[in-house]
Structure 1
Amino acid sequence: MKRKIGVAVIGLGPASLPHSKSLIDLSERVDVRWAVSRTAGRATAFAGQFAFPVTTDLDAVLADPTVEAVIVLTPPSSHLDVSARCLAAGKHVLVEKPLELTSERGQRLVDAARQAGKVFGVVLQHRFRPASVRLKAAIDGGELGTIEAAFLSVPWWRPQAYYDEPGRGTLARDGGGVLLTQAIHSLDLFRSLVGISRVVAAQVRTTALHRMETEDYVSALLEIGNGAPATLVTTTAAYPGHPERIEIIGTKGFAALIGGRLHLAFLDGRNEVVEAEGSTGSGANIMDFPHDAHRAVIADFLDAIEQDRDPVVTGEEALASQRLVDDILGNARQTGR
């Protein structure tokens, strides 16, 4: 039996639900020493759901030698400060998406992790879905041939009540709108599959369906790594919310990844389907998805600690996806769209 790794969870908002369920599933590998919130009320509410020790004293947690790793689930605006404190205390860090409010702050966090010499990963769990893993293998193995075109669509829905919560959809708390906060998972997966070499054109707006500071609709024309065209459309104004979709046209076949379900259709007549594991959180209930992929992210993080290697989604990988967000939004600003 492997030794258990002492873990602390920092931040007990909605994101703590799939992580906590995952840690329970991984109880043979982890010992959850603490669950931390800066507010006593949230800590008490969390303790009513999960049998983890709770505290509001982060300093005490970071001083605890039995805590080897932390999972940071605080708002994006605090990721650099909280994670840097954890790294300085000698802890390995897994941080929720997005990496930080800005790419500049994200770069500082990545640099801090490398300088500390600790394992540092980012929660971009769509890469770990079975269908995503199979699609990447098909692309990397040449099963689809040369990619001739690709398409990403994220037609999600968030009600106004979601954005009425303090800080939601603001630059100060979230760093951005649909592209950085909701679509980042699909955008990161898309980039990891096909690569993005250039943003050709982009359009960004806030629709009349929402009152918010940042955008709820983005479309873009892109070039993928081999120069082929790609199209992106993301929104949180598509009521009642629909599964995200990645489509890839290859010289040997076609791939459609819809939510967590993959259909591969090859020109030689073969077909393959990888079924979805559940919903994707595309509608008003933002936590309406299974925690399987989160469990896989945490398992990979634990493996990385034990094997002294990088996790699948490193800080550099997350930063590359965040810089793509910058490029898309920057293109729209430059052209006034």
Structure 2
Amino acid sequence: MFNDGMVDTLKLIKLVERGVTSRYRSDLNRGVIMRELGFGIIGCSRIAAKHAEALAHIEQAQLVAVMDIDEARAKEYAEAYGCEYYTKLDDILGRPDIQVVNICTPNGLHAEQGIKAARAGKHILVEKPVALTLESADALIEACEQEGVKLGVVHQNRFLPPVLKAREALERGRFGRLTHGQATVRWNRNQEYYDQADWRGTREMDGGMLLNQAIHNLDLLQWFMGPVESVFGYAGTKVRNIETEDVAVAVVRFDSGAFGVIEAATTIYPKNLEERLSIFGETGTVVIGGTALSRVEAWEFPGGEEEREKLVGQGLELPRYYGHQQVILDMIDAVRNDRRPAVDGREARKVLELILAIYESSKTGREVKLR
């Protein structure tokens, strides 16, 4: 009902708890030969380091090569992670020992490079957002389906243990009828952050704060609350010297009749304050907070006192690459078992559509209906 053919939440929980690699070790012990999947990273950005570190901790994955148009940067990554490097996209896509490419370039390049990778027969794991327009997202999705390759999108917060626990409660019907939910991102990205790269804060290559920072939490809100019927929002540039918004607010009506509230900013002084997901139903309340969804702040269900005692107030201490490791493990499992990744292109398109509707509403001053 909820997963539409994708891996279900209980399987995700099992993958997170035991790791796909443990199953592969068991297969090897039984004499089943499991060949490593070769990975290539396109774009040696700051986020690419999480991909590289995650790959280094997965037994059945090998980072074969990285690519960046800046040769010094590509060489630095190659030396740090023990692989080869390229400065041209066609060269890394031409490697027959690379089965999966991780696209970590500026957002405006995701669809174009993903389509080229699909045409080269590579499975694709692309950083969020999947694209900057619905048209380019659809073109990428279509190319992957035509070429028979997997398309996964990095929405790693879906793999956080508290989030999976809450999603399991949702799928079991413990919330009853959902009434409303809230996504809050109160972060800091100072001017120095935007000035570090000329694409940041631009409409053409960055897209905006909602697409580049708050997208993870908005993805979770619609994952829990369901399809969006309409949205009314405001987005503006209040503090930073950039083309795109640094503050946005919106109200959402979901197909179910439930409501949603969105508040997001990268202007919070002097540092990240909190990221919070709140889900409310007639028989359930869950709030996950902390600076990056690292702590359960409320867990209320009938008969759930023992769970609440164990969960509330417990903070997570996870490696910085943890979420990306789980996303990559899911991609490996999807390739091995010929299934859709947990967050494929069509799933990632949903939050893209929501965010673009907020932008349109802010521009026109009108409610935007998605259905």
TM-score, normalised relative to structure 2: 0.83
**Is 1:273 matched with 2:307?**
no
C-alpha contact 1:199 1:331 (8 A) present in aligned 2 = no
Give the RMSD, CA atoms, in angstroms: 1.8
Which residue does the alignment assign to 1:217? 247
1:65-80 alignment to 2 at 5 Å?
A: 65-80=96-111
Please report how far the alpha carbon of residue 268 of structure 1 lies from its aligned counterpart in structure 2 after TM superposition: 4.5
Which digits, 9 at most, give the CA deviation of each residue in 1:12-70, with x for residues without a partner? 110111111100001x2012211111221111222342222222243232222111111
CA distance in structure 2 between the aligned counterparts of 1:314 and 1:102, rounded to whole angstroms? 16
CA distance in structure 2 between the aligned counterparts of 1:142 and 1:103, rounded to whole angstroms? 32
Which residue does the alignment assign to 1:89? 120
1:167-316 alignment to 2 at 5 Å?
A: 167-174=199-206, 176-207=207-238, 209-239=239-269, 240-258=271-289, 259-262=293-296, 263-268=298-303, 270=305, 271=308, 272-273=310-311, 275-278=314-317, 290-316=320-346
**Is 1:111 matched with 2:142?**
yes
CA distance in structure 1 between the aligned counterparts of 2:304 and 2:77, rounded to whole angstroms? 52
Please report how far the alpha carbon of residue 6 of structure 1 lies from its aligned counterpart in structure 2 after TM superposition: 1.4
Which digits, 9 at most, give the CA deviation of each residue in 1:158-182, with x for residues without a partner? 10111223121111111x2111110
C-alpha contact 1:132 1:260 (8 A) present in aligned 2 = no
CA distance in structure 1 between the aligned counterparts of 2:154 and 2:240, rounded to whole angstroms? 27
Count of aligned pairs between the two proteins: 325
Which residue does the alignment assign to 2:69? 38
Letter of the structure 1 residue corresponding to residue 257 of structure 2 = G
1:149 counterpart (159, 168, 180) = 180
CA distance in structure 1 between the aligned counterparts of 2:55 and 2:142, rounded to whole angstroms? 28
CA distance in structure 2 between the aligned counterparts of 1:203 and 1:58, rounded to whole angstroms? 38
Which digits, 9 at most, give the CA deviation of each residue in 1:45-97, with x for residues without a partner? 22342222222243232222111111111111211221111111111111111
CA distance in structure 1 between the aligned counterparts of 2:50 and 2:241, rounded to whole angstroms? 29
Unaligned runs of 5+ in 2: 1-27, 29-33
C-alpha contact 1:123 1:294 (8 A) present in aligned 2 = yes
Which residue does the alignment assign to 2:358? 328
Which residue does the alignment assign to 2:91? 60
C-alpha contact 2:74 2:86 (8 A) present in aligned 1 = yes
2:45 counterpart (7, 13, 20) = 13
C-alpha contact 1:197 1:227 (8 A) present in aligned 2 = no
CA distance in structure 2 between the aligned counterparts of 1:200 and 1:102, rounded to whole angstroms? 18
Change over 3 Å in CA distance of 1:306–1:54 after alignment to 2:
same
* Structure 1 outlier segments of 4+, above 6 Å: none
TM-score, normalised relative to structure 1: 0.91
Which digits, 9 at most, give the CA deviation of each residue in 1:201-235, with x for residues without a partner? 2111111x211101111111111342122111011
C-alpha contact 2:156 2:324 (8 A) present in aligned 1 = yes
Please report how far the alpha carbon of residue 336 of structure 1 lies from its aligned counterpart in structure 2 after TM superposition: 7.2
Change over 3 Å in CA distance of 1:45–1:221 after alignment to 2:
same
**Is 1:47 matched with 2:47?**
no
Please report how far the alpha carbon of residue 273 of structure 1 lies from its aligned counterpart in structure 2 after TM superposition: 1.0
Letter of the structure 1 residue corresponding to residue 143 of structure 2 = A
Change over 3 Å in CA distance of 1:62–1:268 after alignment to 2:
closer
Which digits, 9 at most, give the CA deviation of each residue in 1:79-133, with x for residues without a partner? 1221111111111111111111222111111111111111111111111111111
Percent of aligned positions that are identical:
32
Which residue does the alignment assign to 1:137? 168
**Secondary structure of 1:290 counterpart:** coil
Letter of the structure 2 residue corresponding to residue 112 of structure 1 = A
CA distance in structure 1 between the aligned counterparts of 2:316 and 2:235, rounded to whole angstroms? 32
Letter of the structure 2 residue corresponding to residue 3 of structure 1 = R
CA distance in structure 2 between the aligned counterparts of 1:201 and 1:57, rounded to whole angstroms? 42
